[in-house]
Amino acid sequence: MSLLGIHLTLLIGPTVPVPAPAPLIDALAYAQVIHRDTGRSGFEITFQAGRSGLSGLVDYPLLTTPLLKPFNRVILVVTINVTPRVLIDGIITHQQLSPSDQPGQSSVTIIGEDISLMMDLEEKSVEHPAQDETIIANKLILSYAQYGLIPMVIPPLVIDPPIPIERIPVQQETDLQFLNDMAKRYGYVFYIIPGPVPFTNTAYWGPPVRVGVPQSALTVNMGPQTNVSSFNVRYNAMDPTLVEGQIQDRLTNQSFPVQTFASLRPPLAAFPAWLVNQPNVRRKQFREGGLNVMEAYARAQGQTDASIDAVVAEGSLDADRYGTLLQPRALVGVRGAGYSYDGWWYVKQVTHVIQVGSYQQQFTLTREGVGSTTPVVIP
């Protein structure tokens, strides 16, 4: 439980945001931030918008302030127990007005997305000669250093540096689309992690993070220790997919079989669906060409690894009772749900809903099957 309370700090403005003025903070009524492990994270902030006094004769005063204009930068920092955490660093894309004939019910809402939005504004036709995916990813990320992007690029298991006399990687889309397309080849993901301090962001390109120190446990149905208000699980045995087929090696022109048998990701469940449901696991034909054997195996394995999460858990918790922020794209323990669904989970998405006197976190967890792999989790 948070002993010193939860505090929200808003920085806003063009290019380099500054602390929001007191009237804007006083008008803040609601904030929602969504973090996902794929695609862009987003935010929505609602302000009460009155028209009293001389300043409201012509227009709503909030609509005339330059701080809420589209393409301004917004940084939200949440402080729990004196520890500040950057919740979102993003760009305003929409502005909405909701007038009301009831006193104090009119509102102005700004909606935006994380800094990766700026990587998706311009389609490019660019060649990347003699550069593999790792080099290209680092180069594209570093070109947005003005937004504080720090690259964290994990090389694929198999790298085939392109020789210019044989092939040249060509980009015919935005930088963000190109980064995502390169990631999908290996079952990787690309996303922006706000922080660790304001005005900086970590740009992650690599496999979903299924290792490391898990977060404090989500506790279900355990009396006074319970910190989860709802927890629902669904098991879809049709998701896991194995890949099989053939590839004509572009270097030797010889045909070789390509087949996957299991996931190579660290297991979070004792009984993975792709294993216990044999031989009824879905099988997909490998249909890519122009690759060598090692590249083909790496891409086939990436397709299998990306499909294995057959079990999804959704729920919500109170941030004050939990005592910290639940971080997406990381591991968390669950206890109190029974052997089948206790243990380690991967946090796929977290939605933060903040109002005066209330801070709720809605979450989506995934893993590959049922059964806990550990007798205890971190409390």
CATH class for domain 215-236+310-372?
Answer: mainly beta
Reply yes or no on domain 6-118 having CATH 2.40.10: yes
CATH 2.40.10 in the chain: give the residue spans: 6-118
Residue in this structure with the two tokens 């690759």, named with its chain if needed: 291
Q: Looking at the DSSP assignment, which residues form a beta bridge with residue 10?
A: 76
pLDDT of residue 369: 96
Q: Which CATH superfamily is domain 122-206 in?
A: Baseplate protein-like domains (3.55.50.10)
pLDDT of residue 72: 96
Token digits for 220?
Answer: 């279900």
Q: Cβ contacts of residue 294 below 8 Å, gap of 6+?
A: 158, 160
Distance of CA 373 to the CA centre of its chain: 25
CA atoms lying within 13 Å on the CB side of residue 90: 28
C-alpha 168/C-alpha 31 separation (Å) is 45
- 295, 286 contact by CB (below 8 A): no
CA atoms lying within 13 Å on the CB side of residue 132: 12
pLDDT of residue 1: 45
C-alpha 280/C-alpha 66 separation (Å) is 59
pLDDT of residue 360: 95
Q: Cβ contacts of residue 120 below 8 Å, gap of 6+?
A: 40, 174, 175, 176, 177
Q: Cβ contacts of residue 253 below 8 Å, gap of 6+?
A: none
Which pLDDT tens digits describe the chain residue by residue (379 residues)? 444 578 999 999 998 899 999 989 999 999 999 998 888 899 999 999 877 655 555 778 888 889 999 999 999 999 988 889 999 999 999 999 998 888 778 899 999 999 999 999 999 999 999 999 999 999 999 999 999 999 999 999 888 889 898 889 999 999 999 999 999 989 899 999 999 999 999 999 999 988 889 999 999 999 989 999 999 999 999 999 999 999 999 889 999 999 999 999 999 999 999 999 999 999 999 998 888 898 899 999 999 999 999 999 999 999 988 988 999 999 999 999 999 999 999 999 999 999 988 999 999 999 999 999 999 998 8
CATH 3.55.50.10 in the chain: give the residue spans: 122-206
Q: Where are the beta strands (DSSP E) in 241-357?
A: 241-248, 255-259, 269-272, 282-286, 311-318, 331-335, 343-355
CATH 2.30.300.10 in the chain: give the residue spans: 215-236+310-372
